[in-house]
Amino acid sequence: MTSADTKRHVETRPQPRPGSSSRTTWRYAVAGLSASLVGLGLARFSYTPLIPALIAAKWFSASDVVYLGAANLAGYLAGALAARALATRIGAVRALRAMMLLATVSFFASSAPLSFSWFFAWRFLAGLTGGIIMVLAASVILPHTSAARRGIVGGVIFAGVGLGVAASGTLVPLLLQQGLQQSWYGLGVLSALLTLASWWNWPAETRADAAPSHQAKPHHALPAARALLVQYGLNAVALVPHMVFIVDFVARGLGQGIAAGSRYWVLYGLGAIVGPLVTGHLGDRSGFGPALRAAYLIEAAAVLLPTVSTAPVSLIVSSVVVGGFTPGIVPLVLGRIHELVPHSSQQQRAIWSHATTSFALFQAAAAYGFSWIYAQTGGDYLVLFGLGGGAVVLALAIDLGFALTTRKA
């Protein structure tokens, strides 16, 4: 073979897919982590520790701040529903950059309490950014990731949620020492820095990201995917008792005070940082189907643990483990979707969009439903933990039942 032939042979060999190198893969993963930290971690969870300050500064009444919190949940649901259409219109990567910018603007806009409507609109938009980022971030990055690394890369992406929870218990109180308005400025600056740092680290826009899919809708064609959507929604129900009530349960239900309740929230946040890394690694090692079943079983035990024992060690284990599964369930469900639909990124994105919508609907319904049950039972927290544990047990039963039915068929 002549040198010219050799050169021509090298030039015509298939080139590796963009993002196939380890360094590039992790660069993409860090961009995804930044997006989830801004749109999910900060835009959602930083509001919780700001609530007492909003009331104390007389920006809003105690009843108003509840509605403002609900605005974020409504925006998250709207974002989950709108994500695919937005990606089709402007491209997924452009949509992610735009949402990080919008989340940044929302922090600065929230520093001026011009009216309830003004603040409500920006809390809604902050939630919208989270819903869109949740649908698009992983679906943009994972097609550029080898199958063997999909779980751990997904875990890195959604570790940003846990970092946001941890920041809500540590960074926000420090910012509040400078003042309420300055706290919003600080969150805005942090969000802007993360947006800038990730701007050029996303994968190159592909045709699949920008063009609509004309394939059959996978959630109609794939019964396993439909079952997974229900399981993911039930998992959202299971997370609500800890996510909404654990601090109040310790502080008032057990009479240990707000400081003690806040410590369990920090533990919840630490679990949320580590959780997706652990579950993602487990999915890579054992397969996402078996890992998901193991996760349901462990999560059920952790959610139900306060109904059995309220000793400090029990509450610590329960808070850390449930905190870990709050974002940790995400890489498992994503990996399972890729197992069910291994060859179509468009179908993967479609199923994941519906899964995010299912999670948002079940979570919002559970948050309001559990609040009503709490009021009707005279503040019985243990009923809520029991219902949450029952929800994830039902998710496990559906998964096992579907697997047995499929095997017999």
**Looking at residue 206, what is its pLDDT?**
56
Q: What string of pLDDT tens digits covers the 409 residues of the chain?
A: 444 444 444 333 333 344 446 777 778 888 888 998 998 888 887 777 777 777 777 887 766 776 777 788 888 888 988 888 898 898 889 999 999 999 999 999 988 888 888 888 998 999 899 989 988 888 888 777 776 777 778 778 888 888 887 777 778 778 888 888 888 999 999 999 999 998 988 887 655 444 444 444 444 447 888 889 999 999 999 998 888 778 778 877 888 876 777 788 888 888 988 888 888 888 888 888 899 999 999 999 999 999 999 899 999 999 999 999 988 898 899 888 888 887 777 787 788 888 888 988 898 888 888 878 888 888 788 999 999 999 999 999 998 888 777 665 5
- Picking from 130, 132, 14, 114, the residue whose alpha carbon sits closest to that of residue 60 is 114
Residue 65 near residue 55 (C-beta atoms within 8 A): yes
pLDDT at 108: 93
- Written in H, E and C, the secondary structure of the chain is CCHHHHHHHHHHCCCCCCCCCHHHHHHHHHHHHHHHHHHHHHHHHCHHHHHHHHHHCCCCCHHHHHHHHHHHHHHHHHHHHHHHHHHHHHCHHHHHHHHHHHHHHHHHHCCCCCCHHHHHHHHHHHHHHHHHHHHHHHHHHHHHCCHHHHHHHHHHHHHHHHHHHHHHHHHHHHHHCCCHHHHHHHHHHHHHHHHHHHCCCCCCCCHHHHCCCCCCCHHHHCHHHHHHHHHHHHHHHHHHHHHHHHHHHHHHHCCCCHHHHHHHHHHHHHHHHHHHHHHHHHHHHHCHHHHHHHHHHHHHHHHHHHHHCCCHHHHHHHHHHHHHHHHHHHHHHHHHHHHHCCCCHHHHHHHHHHHHHHHHHHHHHHHHHHHHHHHHCCCCHHHHHHHHHHHHHHHHHHHHHHHHHHHHC
139 CB contacts (<8 Å, ≥6 apart)? 92, 345, 348, 349, 352
pLDDT confidence of residue 167: 79
pLDDT for res 221: 42
4 contacts 69 by C-beta, under 8 angstroms: no
Residue 257, Cβ density class (10 Å: 0-12 exposed, 13-18 middle, ≥19 buried): exposed
- The predicted model scores a pTM of 0.76
Calculate what percentage of the chain has a pLDDT beyond 70: 88
Closest CA relative to residue 124, chosen from 60, 42, 180, 68: 68
- The pLDDT value recorded for residue 407 is 63
